[in-house]
Amino acid sequence: MNGLIAIVASALVIVPIVLFLLFRRGARAGKPAYQRHKVALPPERCALYQALKQAVGERFELMPNVAVSDLITPVRGTISRASAAAFEDAAAQPFAFVLCRPSDLTALAAVVVVPRERAAGRGHSLGSSLKGVCEAAGLPLIEVEAAPIYETATLREAVLTALRPGPVQEGHIDGRREPHISSLDDLDLG
Protein backbone atom coordinates (compact mmCIF):
# COMPACT_ATOMS: atom_id res chain seq x y z
CA MET A 1 0.00 0.00 0.00
CA ASN A 2 2.83 2.40 0.82
CA GLY A 3 4.40 1.60 -2.56
CA LEU A 4 1.16 2.52 -4.33
CA ILE A 5 0.98 5.87 -2.47
CA ALA A 6 4.61 6.59 -3.39
CA ILE A 7 3.94 5.85 -7.07
CA VAL A 8 0.83 8.10 -7.13
CA ALA A 9 2.65 10.90 -5.29
CA SER A 10 5.59 10.63 -7.71
CA ALA A 11 3.23 10.71 -10.68
CA LEU A 12 1.54 13.85 -9.32
CA VAL A 13 4.90 15.58 -9.16
CA ILE A 14 6.52 14.22 -12.34
CA VAL A 15 3.54 14.48 -14.74
CA PRO A 16 3.10 18.29 -14.39
CA ILE A 17 6.86 18.82 -14.83
CA VAL A 18 6.92 16.68 -17.99
CA LEU A 19 3.83 18.43 -19.37
CA PHE A 20 5.38 21.84 -18.66
CA LEU A 21 8.60 20.92 -20.46
CA LEU A 22 6.70 19.50 -23.45
CA PHE A 23 4.47 22.58 -23.70
CA ARG A 24 7.46 24.91 -23.44
CA ARG A 25 9.34 23.04 -26.16
CA GLY A 26 6.25 23.09 -28.40
CA ALA A 27 5.83 26.85 -27.94
CA ARG A 28 9.43 27.43 -29.01
CA ALA A 29 9.06 25.23 -32.07
CA GLY A 30 6.14 27.35 -33.38
CA LYS A 31 6.37 30.68 -35.13
CA PRO A 32 7.61 33.55 -32.99
CA ALA A 33 4.99 36.17 -32.18
CA TYR A 34 5.53 39.77 -33.26
CA GLN A 35 3.34 42.82 -33.06
CA ARG A 36 3.21 45.31 -35.92
CA HIS A 37 2.94 49.00 -35.14
CA LYS A 38 0.59 50.90 -37.42
CA VAL A 39 2.62 54.13 -37.40
CA ALA A 40 6.32 54.27 -38.31
CA LEU A 41 7.13 56.88 -35.65
CA PRO A 42 6.31 56.97 -31.93
CA PRO A 43 3.58 59.50 -31.03
CA GLU A 44 6.07 62.11 -29.74
CA ARG A 45 8.06 62.05 -32.98
CA CYS A 46 4.89 61.94 -35.07
CA ALA A 47 3.77 65.24 -33.51
CA LEU A 48 7.14 66.83 -34.32
CA TYR A 49 7.08 65.40 -37.85
CA GLN A 50 3.65 66.87 -38.55
CA ALA A 51 4.64 70.26 -37.13
CA LEU A 52 7.92 70.31 -39.09
CA LYS A 53 6.16 69.26 -42.28
CA GLN A 54 3.65 72.05 -41.80
CA ALA A 55 6.47 74.52 -41.07
CA VAL A 56 8.56 73.70 -44.16
CA GLY A 57 5.79 72.64 -46.53
CA GLU A 58 6.82 71.03 -49.78
CA ARG A 59 10.16 72.86 -49.89
CA PHE A 60 11.93 70.04 -48.00
CA GLU A 61 11.67 66.30 -47.52
CA LEU A 62 11.88 65.08 -43.93
CA MET A 63 13.79 61.86 -43.27
CA PRO A 64 13.29 60.43 -39.77
CA ASN A 65 15.86 58.62 -37.63
CA VAL A 66 18.94 59.08 -39.81
CA ALA A 67 22.18 57.80 -38.33
CA VAL A 68 24.84 60.46 -37.83
CA SER A 69 27.37 58.20 -39.55
CA ASP A 70 25.15 58.08 -42.66
CA LEU A 71 25.69 61.83 -43.16
CA ILE A 72 29.04 62.54 -41.56
CA THR A 73 32.23 60.49 -41.61
CA PRO A 74 35.66 61.51 -40.38
CA VAL A 75 38.36 61.96 -43.00
CA ARG A 76 41.10 59.38 -42.49
CA GLY A 77 44.34 60.69 -41.10
CA THR A 78 42.91 64.06 -40.10
CA ILE A 79 41.47 63.38 -36.66
CA SER A 80 43.07 62.64 -33.34
CA ARG A 81 42.01 59.94 -30.91
CA ALA A 82 40.08 62.53 -28.91
CA SER A 83 38.26 63.65 -32.05
CA ALA A 84 37.51 60.03 -32.95
CA ALA A 85 36.06 59.49 -29.47
CA ALA A 86 33.97 62.65 -29.84
CA PHE A 87 32.67 61.38 -33.17
CA GLU A 88 31.75 58.03 -31.60
CA ASP A 89 29.80 59.89 -28.90
CA ALA A 90 28.06 62.01 -31.53
CA ALA A 91 27.26 59.01 -33.72
CA ALA A 92 25.68 57.06 -30.85
CA GLN A 93 22.25 58.64 -31.38
CA PRO A 94 20.52 59.23 -34.72
CA PHE A 95 19.23 62.59 -35.85
CA ALA A 96 15.49 62.85 -35.18
CA PHE A 97 14.96 64.26 -38.68
CA VAL A 98 17.05 65.43 -41.60
CA LEU A 99 15.75 68.18 -43.89
CA CYS A 100 16.59 67.27 -47.48
CA ARG A 101 16.32 68.89 -50.88
CA PRO A 102 13.36 67.14 -52.60
CA SER A 103 15.04 66.79 -56.00
CA ASP A 104 18.08 64.76 -54.92
CA LEU A 105 17.66 64.24 -51.15
CA THR A 106 20.77 66.23 -50.31
CA ALA A 107 20.93 66.76 -46.55
CA LEU A 108 20.53 70.47 -45.78
CA ALA A 109 20.09 70.42 -41.99
CA ALA A 110 19.65 67.97 -39.12
CA VAL A 111 17.10 68.15 -36.31
CA VAL A 112 17.65 66.76 -32.82
CA VAL A 113 15.16 66.66 -29.97
CA VAL A 114 16.48 68.02 -26.69
CA PRO A 115 14.74 66.66 -23.57
CA ARG A 116 13.12 69.34 -21.42
CA GLU A 117 15.55 68.77 -18.53
CA ARG A 118 18.49 69.57 -20.80
CA ALA A 119 16.79 72.54 -22.44
CA ALA A 120 15.95 74.02 -19.03
CA GLY A 121 19.56 73.62 -17.89
CA ARG A 122 18.76 71.01 -15.24
CA GLY A 123 20.61 68.23 -17.05
CA HIS A 124 23.74 68.18 -19.12
CA SER A 125 23.43 69.91 -22.48
CA LEU A 126 23.22 68.22 -25.82
CA GLY A 127 26.61 66.74 -26.46
CA SER A 128 28.96 69.44 -27.59
CA SER A 129 30.60 66.68 -29.59
CA LEU A 130 27.52 66.46 -31.85
CA LYS A 131 27.43 70.22 -32.26
CA GLY A 132 31.14 70.28 -33.01
CA VAL A 133 30.94 67.42 -35.48
CA CYS A 134 28.02 69.00 -37.34
CA GLU A 135 29.73 72.39 -37.38
CA ALA A 136 32.99 70.90 -38.69
CA ALA A 137 31.09 69.03 -41.41
CA GLY A 138 29.09 72.12 -42.40
CA LEU A 139 25.74 70.56 -41.52
CA PRO A 140 23.39 72.97 -39.70
CA LEU A 141 22.00 71.47 -36.49
CA ILE A 142 18.53 72.48 -35.31
CA GLU A 143 17.79 71.75 -31.66
CA VAL A 144 14.10 71.40 -30.78
CA GLU A 145 12.94 71.16 -27.18
CA ALA A 146 10.77 68.11 -26.55
CA ALA A 147 7.14 69.12 -26.12
CA PRO A 148 3.70 67.57 -26.50
CA ILE A 149 2.74 70.29 -29.01
CA TYR A 150 5.07 72.19 -31.35
CA GLU A 151 4.50 75.68 -32.72
CA THR A 152 4.85 75.83 -36.48
CA ALA A 153 6.08 79.43 -36.50
CA THR A 154 8.85 78.64 -34.01
CA LEU A 155 9.98 75.64 -36.05
CA ARG A 156 9.88 77.65 -39.28
CA GLU A 157 12.05 80.35 -37.69
CA ALA A 158 14.52 77.73 -36.41
CA VAL A 159 14.81 76.24 -39.91
CA LEU A 160 15.29 79.68 -41.48
CA THR A 161 17.93 80.60 -38.94
CA ALA A 162 19.81 77.34 -39.49
CA LEU A 163 19.74 77.61 -43.29
CA ARG A 164 20.55 81.31 -43.43
CA PRO A 165 24.14 81.77 -44.57
CA GLY A 166 26.47 83.07 -41.88
CA PRO A 167 28.29 86.37 -42.05
CA VAL A 168 31.13 86.68 -44.51
CA GLN A 169 34.36 85.70 -42.78
CA GLU A 170 37.15 88.22 -42.48
CA GLY A 171 39.60 87.85 -45.33
CA HIS A 172 36.83 86.75 -47.71
CA ILE A 173 35.16 90.11 -48.08
CA ASP A 174 34.81 90.96 -51.75
CA GLY A 175 32.34 93.81 -51.54
CA ARG A 176 29.23 91.70 -52.02
CA ARG A 177 26.23 91.70 -49.72
CA GLU A 178 24.91 88.43 -48.40
CA PRO A 179 21.22 87.76 -49.14
CA HIS A 180 18.71 87.94 -46.32
CA ILE A 181 16.17 85.14 -46.15
CA SER A 182 12.83 86.24 -44.76
CA SER A 183 10.73 83.23 -45.68
CA LEU A 184 11.06 79.73 -47.01
CA ASP A 185 9.47 80.87 -50.27
CA ASP A 186 12.50 83.06 -51.03
CA LEU A 187 14.99 80.24 -50.33
CA ASP A 188 16.63 78.85 -53.47
CA LEU A 189 17.60 75.22 -53.00
CA GLY A 190 19.04 74.69 -56.48
What is d(CA 178, CA 74) in angstroms, rounded to the nearest whole number?
30
- Using the CB atoms, write b or e for 94-109: b if 16+ within 10 Å: bbbbbbbeeeeeebbb
- Residues 59 and 114 placed together within one structural domain of the fold: yes
User: Strand 61-66 vs strand 141-145: parallel, antiparallel, or unpaired?
Assistant: unpaired
- Residues 83 and 122 placed together within one structural domain of the fold: yes
User: Strand 107-114 vs strand 61-66: parallel, antiparallel, or unpaired?
Assistant: unpaired
Residue pair 108/99 in contact by the 8 Å Cβ criterion: yes
- Residues 52 and 26 placed together within one structural domain of the fold: no
Asked whether residue 173 is domain-assigned, the answer is: no
Asked whether residue 70 is domain-assigned, the answer is: yes
Whether residue 122 has pLDDT greater than 60: no
Whether residue 99 has pLDDT greater than 60: yes
Asked whether residue 60 is domain-assigned, the answer is: yes
Asked whether residue 141 is domain-assigned, the answer is: yes
- Could you tell me the CATH number of the domain that includes residue 115? 3.40.1350
- Residues 65 and 156 placed together within one structural domain of the fold: yes
Percent of the chain with pLDDT over 70: 77
User: What is residue 186's predicted lDDT score, i.e. its pLDDT?
Assistant: 59
Asked whether residue 83 is domain-assigned, the answer is: yes
User: What is residue 166's predicted lDDT score, i.e. its pLDDT?
Assistant: 64
Asked whether residue 121 is domain-assigned, the answer is: yes
- Cα 73 to chain centroid distance, Å, stands at 17
Q: What is the rounded average pLDDT of the residues 39-68? A: 91
Length of the chain in residues, anyone?
190
User: What is residue 65's predicted lDDT score, i.e. its pLDDT?
Assistant: 93
Q: What is the rounded average pLDDT of the residues 37-50? A: 88
User: What is residue 159's predicted lDDT score, i.e. its pLDDT?
Assistant: 94
Number of structural domains, the chain?
A: 2
What is d(CA 98, CA 102) in angstroms, rounded to the nearest whole number?
12
Asked whether residue 172 is domain-assigned, the answer is: no
Asked whether residue 171 is domain-assigned, the answer is: no
- Residues 60 and 142 placed together within one structural domain of the fold: yes
- Residues 30 and 101 placed together within one structural domain of the fold: no
Dump pLDDT digits (tens) for 127-168.
Answer: 677 888 898 889 999 999 999 999 999 999 999 999 987 654
Dump pLDDT digits (tens) for 66-98.
Answer: 999 899 988 877 777 877 887 888 888 899 999
- Residues 16 and 70 placed together within one structural domain of the fold: no
Burial class (CB in 10 A: 0-12, 13-18, 19+), 133: buried
Q: Which domain holds residue 7?
A: 1-34
Other Cβ atoms less than 10 A from the Cβ of 189: the count is 14
- Residues 52 and 126 placed together within one structural domain of the fold: yes
Whether residue 171 has pLDDT greater than 50: no
User: What is residue 169's predicted lDDT score, i.e. its pLDDT?
Assistant: 45
